[in-house]
Structure 1
Amino acid sequence: MAVILHLLSCLLGLGSWIAINGVWVELPLLVPQTPEGWELPSYLSLLIQFANIGPLTVTLIHKFRPGCLREGAVISGILAVGIASCVLLAFLWQETSWVGTTRRSTALLCLIFFLSLVDCTSSVTFLPYMTRLGPNYLISYFIGEGLSGLMPALLALAQGVGVVSCELTNRTEPNGSYVPGNLSAVYQPARFPAWCFFLFLSVMMGLSLIAFIILHKTPKEQRNQEAGKGKGQVRRESGGRAVEQKPMMAEDEPETQMTNQEIRKCSTREKVFIYLVLVWVNALTNAVLPSVQTYSCIPYGGRVYHLAATLAAIANPVACGIAVHLSTRNLLAVGALTVIGSGLGSYIMAMAVLSPCPPLLGGNTGGLLIVRIYTLVQGHI
């Protein structure tokens, strides 16, 4: 039963950010068929920021109307909206309409906003629910959250999105003369269309909803009983009274000292530093760098952009999995990692500013370097 509960927690985490992560890695296939073109990633970044109205609303309701929101109904509703948006996206993403004097992908942009609303709001609903559920299940939830970036990335690699080649277009005049043409980009067809990809996302969101319903309906006593297994064994004395017998540990005293260190309160200066790091890192990874990804990668080719987006989506969950086992509370180490990640981000910004003629444009070195830096910065910060 414990294994099943951990699996359900993992599936719930899978539905937290899989929709938007999936849209990001699918962009190389969407961009050539939308009127926004390579401006679409910038629109996506803006929509994600606007969608923060969701977690803000939930936070304000909890603050001023505590107990007003039913946790189970809110999470189920969020996942249901995500499922419906993914299904509609599969069939309507190519629909356009006139907005003023410009043609826009209104259906695509509106549905991406709803998916962003779902994923952003999951941060202030799923995580508090899992925190109350138990620390053991919280780890499984984070594993599932990491998979929410890995699975769409692997599927996009299998789909082969964004593969482009340059072909020389020649033409023959009516008088029979041969006229050489120019090089033009020809996008290779994907192995399966975008609507299949979006339906896959809806199935994953559906599994997450089913997992939450089962998890929420499981009696609290049973969850606590399964979570407590392994922490201590129960032996019976001769009188039949059950007594908890903790496993023998040679490190009992150091473990107590470590616990006392971990629960000490942070000073005001440390709290300010932590909050500033959070603001800076979130601004880089969720707003600044995604919005300039096209400008920094496209000069090196569509394949480079595709690899940068996909491998970066893979690097993030891998780094999260490593952090679970190699976590640190040393603020000096956190600051050093932030400085290194910011330096990598500065290179990306420089390439975007110098676009469409960044350095190392002639060979493969520039493309390989930008892909590696995008992968490192997503796994580093």
Structure 2
Amino acid sequence: MMSFSDFLRNRVLLVDFLAIIFGISSWISINGLWVELPVLVNQLPEGWSLPSYLSTIVQLANIGPISYSIFRALAPRSQTPQNIIILVLLVLGTGASLGLALGWKITSQIAGAERSTMLFVFVFLLSLVDCTSSVLFLPYMGLFRDVYLNSYLVGEGLSGFIPSIAALAQGVGGNPVCKNVTKDDGTISLQPVSEEPRFTAQDFFLFLMGMMILSLSAFVCLEWLPLARREKISGASLMGERRESKDSTESDSQSSRKNIQEEEVGGHHNSGGVLDTSDSQLVIPESDTEHGVPLLLFMLGAVCFLANGALPSIQSYSCLPYGNTVYHLVATLNAMANPLMAFFSMFVACKSKRIVCLLTGLSFLTTGYILATALTSPAPMWGELGGGLTVVAWVVVGALFSYVKVAIAGLCRDAGALFKCGVATQIGSACGALTAFLLVNQTTLFQEINRNDAVP
């Protein structure tokens, strides 16, 4: 476990801060959208199925990383304007955030049904930025010394934490209550009515735009501020550092074995000599890491299938049977678990593939309970107790998925496979969203309460 003094040694805190702020832009728009869904589902025509539409739109934006991957494969690496592409994406994200704030309520008729067209358009543009960040931002941070990667990942986690804090302050007004409502024709009927949140969805989206502006400024500083530029390393320097670290480990191990052998020959079995080699056993040899990359990428894809694609699509069905309050708590606390676990991983890093597999399996078991709550919708499981259990399950799953993703990113970094890591993230997320969209909208597995029904 790393001490705080070790953490501060040999790093520039300003670069850490800039990396965190830059990392916030990676998914803040989409994460902000998810935590705002408890407000949106009650105001937009798609109702409970809105998350499945948005998940699919987010994954359609994978045309961004696919296009960049093709460009990266065809163009010489030295001629790939990575920094300019990132700058353009952040500017696009800022503009799309403003458009979302101004036009999210505008709907139109499509195929005989009312749809949230402007919301879908601006969500697609924001998703284009966020999805492409998976194959651009991580490799860009690879240009800096390794100590700053976790700072970026903390920022990536904060992209869910910050909107969650704003959503908690906003509130959803509690569960609907029955009130007499006068219709346009003058008749009065009993209908479910929810109290208004403390501030509007437009104000929330403007706040997200402000965070995008901050992230854009942080990237400009990382790219052109002399202090930050000095923290970058060339490819040759990076290989040299890793080779030096590997040679140092092998040299220490050989020296320890030599001392042990000399002591055994002299008739002295010093246990201290054996203990001196324990530190080297904690370091995963580069060849072992490279050998396990396919397994790591498969687990990452499976985790993202659920965390980024399938589960967000069915979150409303899992939570709304217990009321708006449970849905609001799940959306916010689940998002807050992400950065907390990323920060935790900075001090308790996981370098064991076996532990990663164990945590992944545990997260899948908890996901089974969440799936059961969604399939039994709109009937709640376990009565009043089910609401609390659902909140706990979603928070635990969010924390486990976050820690697993950070651990796999660290192992892939050691193997020089950060780009593959980003590709696996997007493939898994896209497959999960497409699968969930088909199940939600083309089958009767997931049912919702008719919004016109009275609430007793």
TM-score (norm 2): 0.71
1:236 corresponds in structure 2 to none
Task: Please report how far the alpha carbon of residue 338 of structure 1 lies from its aligned counterpart in structure 2 after TM superposition.
Answer: 1.1
> Structure 1 residue 307 and structure 2 residue 329: aligned?
yes
Report the 3-state secondary structure (helix = DSSP H, G, I; strand = E; otherwise coil) of the residue aligned with 2:99. Answer: helix
CA distance in 2, matches of 1:59, 1:254: 43
Within the candidate set 340, 350, 370, 2:390 is matched to 370
CA distance in 2, matches of 1:161, 1:73: 40
2:117 corresponds in structure 1 to 106
CA distance in 1, matches of 2:283, 2:179: 69
> Structure 1 residue 62 and structure 2 residue 82: aligned?
no
Within the candidate set 338, 343, 364, 2:365 is matched to 343
CA distance in 2, matches of 1:39, 1:221: 45
1:1-381 correspondence to structure 2 within 5 Å: 2-67=12-77, 68-161=79-172, 163-169=174-180, 184-219=191-226, 223-224=230-231, 254=277, 257-258=280-281, 261-266=284-289, 268=291, 270-361=292-383, 363=384, 365-381=385-401
Q: Which deviations, in whole Å up to 9, do the C-alpha atoms of 1:308-329 show, x marking residues without a partner? A: 1111000111111112222222
Task: Please report how far the alpha carbon of residue 215 of structure 1 lies from its aligned counterpart in structure 2 after TM superposition.
Answer: 1.5
CA distance in 1, matches of 2:94, 2:228: 31
Report the 3-state secondary structure (helix = DSSP H, G, I; strand = E; otherwise coil) of the residue aligned with 2:41. Answer: helix
- Contact map agreement 2:98 2:205 (CA 8 A) in 1: yes
Report the 3-state secondary structure (helix = DSSP H, G, I; strand = E; otherwise coil) of the residue aligned with 2:192. Answer: strand
Instruction: Name the CA shift for 1:3/1:328 in 2 (closer, same or farther; >3 Å).
Output: closer
CA distance in 2, matches of 1:88, 1:322: 36
CA distance in 1, matches of 2:18, 2:284: 33
- Contact map agreement 2:107 2:115 (CA 8 A) in 1: yes
- Contact map agreement 1:25 1:156 (CA 8 A) in 2: yes
Report the 3-state secondary structure (helix = DSSP H, G, I; strand = E; otherwise coil) of the residue aligned with 1:98. Answer: strand
Structure 2 letter corresponding to 1:372 = V
Q: Which deviations, in whole Å up to 9, do the C-alpha atoms of 1:207-246 show, x marking residues without a partner? A: 11111112211238852399x9xxxxxxxxxxxxxxxxxx
Number of positions where the alignment pairs a residue of Structure 1 with one of Structure 2: 347
- Contact map agreement 1:26 1:161 (CA 8 A) in 2: no
CA distance in 2, matches of 1:203, 1:267: 40
Task: Please report how far the alpha carbon of residue 350 of structure 1 lies from its aligned counterpart in structure 2 after TM superposition.
Answer: 1.1
Instruction: Name the CA shift for 1:194/1:60 in 2 (closer, same or farther; >3 Å).
Output: same
Aligned Cα root-mean-square deviation (Å): 2.7
CA distance in 1, matches of 2:12, 2:375: 52
CA distance in 2, matches of 1:185, 1:262: 61
Task: Please report how far the alpha carbon of residue 80 of structure 1 lies from its aligned counterpart in structure 2 after TM superposition.
Answer: 0.6
CA distance in 1, matches of 2:174, 2:48: 15
- Contact map agreement 1:87 1:199 (CA 8 A) in 2: yes
Structure 2 letter corresponding to 1:375 = V
CA distance in 2, matches of 1:259, 1:223: 30
Moved >6 Å (runs of 4+): none
1:245 corresponds in structure 2 to none
Q: Which deviations, in whole Å up to 9, do the C-alpha atoms of 1:110-137 show, x marking residues without a partner? A: 1111111111111111111111122122
CA distance in 2, matches of 1:265, 1:374: 33
- Contact map agreement 1:29 1:162 (CA 8 A) in 2: no
Report the 3-state secondary structure (helix = DSSP H, G, I; strand = E; otherwise coil) of the residue aligned with 2:199. Answer: coil
Report the 3-state secondary structure (helix = DSSP H, G, I; strand = E; otherwise coil) of the residue aligned with 2:197. Answer: coil
Structure 2 letter corresponding to 1:149 = G
Instruction: Name the CA shift for 1:369/1:219 in 2 (closer, same or farther; >3 Å).
Output: same
Q: Which deviations, in whole Å up to 9, do the C-alpha atoms of 1:274-320 show, x marking residues without a partner? A: 22211211101011111111111111111111111111000111111
2:4 corresponds in structure 1 to none
1:232 corresponds in structure 2 to none
TM-score (norm 1): 0.84
- Contact map agreement 1:146 1:316 (CA 8 A) in 2: yes
Report the 3-state secondary structure (helix = DSSP H, G, I; strand = E; otherwise coil) of the residue aligned with 2:143. Answer: helix
Task: Please report how far the alpha carbon of residue 263 of structure 1 lies from its aligned counterpart in structure 2 after TM superposition.
Answer: 2.1
Task: Please report how far the alpha carbon of residue 163 of structure 1 lies from its aligned counterpart in structure 2 after TM superposition.
Answer: 2.5
CA distance in 2, matches of 1:370, 1:64: 47
CA distance in 2, matches of 1:141, 1:255: 30
CA distance in 1, matches of 2:369, 2:204: 32
CA distance in 1, matches of 2:87, 2:148: 19
- Contact map agreement 2:100 2:122 (CA 8 A) in 1: yes
Task: Please report how far the alpha carbon of residue 261 of structure 1 lies from its aligned counterpart in structure 2 after TM superposition.
Answer: 3.4
1:241 corresponds in structure 2 to none
Structure 1 letter corresponding to 2:126 = L
Instruction: Name the CA shift for 1:15/1:277 in 2 (closer, same or farther; >3 Å).
Output: same
Report the 3-state secondary structure (helix = DSSP H, G, I; strand = E; otherwise coil) of the residue aligned with 1:132. Answer: coil
